[in-house]
Amino acid sequence: MTAMPGDDPEWGQFLEAAFLSVLESADEGLLVFDGSERCCMIGRRAGELFGVEPAAYVGKARAEVLEAFSKACEEPETFLEAVAADAPLGVPKLVADVDVMRPRPRTVLCKGAPISRPGRPPGRVVFVRDVTRERAAERSSRQLQARLAELTPYDTLTGLLNVRRFREELDREHGRSSRAWDSYAVARLDVDGMGAINDEHGATMGDLVLEQVASRLKKCLREYDILARLEDDEFAILLPGADAVAARAVGDRILKAMAAEAFLEGARAVTLSFGCALWVPPSGEGATSILERAAAALREARTKGPGGAHVDG
């Protein structure tokens, strides 16, 4: 806060009142503690959110004030941690959501920041804002996205089947193979160093690499093989009727296809790790177990370095 030349006390009081008015009109409350750990200001909005009478706590010790505010919270410890109640006043800024139960249930965003004054002990200001509607909207959006994912069988980035549809196809193939006394294989693949690609070249480049990987994988498979994107940079392939020889041949073909030509500029060294599991009758093993064994085979492939492959069974 900057005062007029001469630090006129009346002008300082006006600036303080203006500061409070701006915050409260923005639906933001605050608590201010000076270098001696005393509360020197509590905004009206902060008192309303936590059901505390500001006038009763101005001038009190920081620990006593924060304890009074924490009693309104569903988990007092979460509030005290969010406002750094046990930390020195000069600690860096913190941000956290806190569930307040009274005077009525709501979610409050708490932000704490140090107040630095040259030659004087630091103070601290805690901002509080009601974000109940915002968090409810975010939850609704996440639930809607999850519901759409359930209804949509395809991955939006690559156009491949998504994990839900892949599991359905795997269950269907497991049943067919059991009846026909036939074998099948499940392969899991991921892009080596995908995190580094995103970090160095950005998420847009990473998405383009995943699209190219999906395109090359399609060209390596038979018409009736099933290809899906499980999550992030991991893909899965269902190979009906495949035995160990066929599974290894598919793995070799895929790894060679990845290295056959350069990927997008700036992401040339792109390789995959390949792990595969077989189901061979007679067996009481379920489809989910085969998928898990394929995941274990992928982990084994990664230990061999970029472009590693491992077939279990």
Say yes or no to pLDDT of 289 above 60.
yes
pLDDT digit string, tens, across residues 145-155: 777 767 788 89
The full 3-state SS of the chain, as one line of letters, equals CCCCCCCCHHHHHHHHHHHHHHHHHCCEEEEEECCCCEEEEECHHHHHHHCCCHHHCCCCEHHHHHHHHHCCECCHHHHHHHCCCCCCCCCCCEEEEEEECCCCCEEEEEEEEEEEECCEEEEEEEEEEECHHHHHHHHHHHHHHHHHHHHCCECCCCCCECHHHHHHHHHHHHHHHHHHCCCEEEEEEEECCHHHHHHHHCHHHHHHHHHHHHHHHHHCCCCCCEEEEEECCEEEEEEECCCHHHHHHHHHHHHHHHHHCCCCCCCCCCCEEEEEEEECCCCCCCHHHHHHHHHHHHHHHHCCCCCCEEEEC
Say yes or no to pLDDT of 6 above 60.
no
Find the range with the poorest average confidence among 6-20, 203-217, 233-247, 285-299: 6-20
Dist CA 97 CA 139 (whole Å): 14
* Cis before 103 (ω within 30): yes
Estimate the crossing angle of helix 194-201 against helix 203-219, to 10 degrees: 140
What's the token pair of residue 239? 């190979």
Average pLDDT in the chain: 87
Say yes or no to pLDDT of 267 above 70.
no
Q: Structurally, what CATH architecture does the domain formed by 9-135 represent?
A: 2-Layer Sandwich (3.30)
In the chain, CATH 3.30.450.20 covers 9-135
* Cis before 92 (ω within 30): no
Q: Which CATH class is domain 155-312?
A: alpha beta
Q: Which pLDDT score, from 0 to 100, does residue 122 have? A: 87
Residue that the structure tokens 């006006």 belong to: 14
Say yes or no to pLDDT of 21 above 60.
yes
Q: Which pLDDT score, from 0 to 100, does residue 94 have? A: 74
In the chain, CATH 3.30.70.270 covers 155-312
Q: Which pLDDT score, from 0 to 100, does residue 5 have? A: 46
pTM of the complete model: 0.56
